[in-house]
Amino acid sequence: MSADTILALGLNHTIAPVAIREKLAFSKDCSRPLLALRALDGCDECLLLSTCNRVEVYFVSKSGAAAADAARKLLFAGTDLTDEEARRYTYFHQGADAVRHLFRVAASLDSMVVGEPQILGQLKEAFRLAGEHKAAGFLLDRLFTKAFFVAKRVRTETNIGGSAVSISYAAVQLAKKILGDLAGRKVLLVGAGEMAELAAEHLVGQ
């Protein structure tokens, strides 16, 4: 695997507040921005991951930082952020650092709630979409296949998944800790995404 050509650009909950992440929120079908990224000069392969807590582009290019700059400009093109602000709220990894970052993301070590299982499914869906549009090729195919293998080993050989955890589950547990018994209480869920659906399921169980 030519790790020196693998790049990762993104933002997540650790570097960008919700107000910034919302500006980059994509619909569940990321086909249009994915194809736009793939069409950038110097981009040989790419994959776009978009969740409630992160937006990341994994791509293969020999252009290094120049390719990352082009991808950053494209991602933020529809926002009111300056180029300086876009740089401030994003991170960039290349080579082995990009590979390690992906492995941490896939294993849920980089999640807001460490051990939450949703991220692996979200990565697999992003991988499927990239393959469907022929945006991912040989290198990303090998990289993500390995990342899924690593994530599975982490989950089966450690206690990271010892309890059913997710951001939604953690939110419901926090509400119980603060308010006590939730039976009979009225709850307002903001949003209609996967996390809101999971929260609703956990609340019904109360």
Phi then psi dihedrals of residue 6, to 5 deg: -95, 125
The one-digit pLDDT tens for each residue of the chain (206 residues) are 444 589 999 999 999 999 999 999 887 789 999 999 999 999 999 999 999 899 999 999 999 999 999 999 999 998 999 999 999 999 999 999 999 999 999 999 999 888 888 999 999 999 999 999 999 999 999 999 999 999 999 999 998 876 656 667 767 767 776 777 777 777 777 766 666 777 777 677 67
Catalytic residues: 52
Contact yes or no for 202/169 (Cβ under 8 A): yes
Q: Quick check: pTM over 0.85?
A: no
Cα separation, 49 vs 106, whole angstroms: 11
Q: Taking CA 119 as the corner, what is the angle to CA 118 and CA 121, rounded to the nearest 5 degrees?
A: 70
